[in-house]
């Protein structure tokens, strides 16, 4: 779970950096669109890693194969935080697709 937290922080930093570079690209500063594209690819990757870790932890067992499950299926469910992470990833993918369209149209 610590790894998921670390990847969340890195993904958030990359998203903020992508927004800042995107604002700079509106000012027609050359090269910022490519930098924003690279930052968006990295943030999409980091957010995907976060929710993959969360799903893996829910279905994994502690202390080898005979151990207890981390979260019993009846007692645990995905919360609104997980839904927000998946929604953020979907929005980042849409942003990435729009950046691809912008890069190839210019």
Task: Determine which of 28-32, 40-44, 93-97 has the lowest per-residue pLDDT on average.
Answer: 28-32
Closest CA relative to residue 77, chosen from 48, 55, 52, 50: 55
DSSP state of 67: S
pLDDT category of residue 45 using cuts at 50, 70 and 90: very high
Closest CA relative to residue 48, chosen from 99, 94, 7, 6: 7
Mean pLDDT of the chain: 82
Q: What percent of the chain has pLDDT over 90?
A: 8
Which has more confidence, 95 or 64? 95
- The Cα 14–Cα 65 span in angstroms is 36
Decide if pLDDT at 65 tops 80: no
- pTM attached to this predicted model: 0.76
Q: Given this model, what pLDDT does residue 42 score?
A: 92
């Amino acid at each position: 779970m610590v790894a998921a937290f670390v990847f969340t922080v890195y993904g958030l930093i990359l998203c903020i950096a992508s927004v800042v570079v995107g604002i700079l690209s509106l000012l027609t500063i050359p090269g910022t669109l490519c930098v924003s594209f690279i930052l968006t690819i990295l943030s999409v990757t980091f957010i995907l890693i976060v929710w993959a870790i969360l799903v893996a932890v829910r279905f994994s067992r502690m202390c080898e194969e005979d151990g207890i499950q981390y979260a019993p299926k009846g007692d645990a469910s995905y919360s609104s935080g997980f839904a927000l992470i998946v929604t953020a990833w979907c929005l980042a993918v849409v942003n990435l697709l729009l950046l691809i369209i912008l890069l190839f149209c210019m």
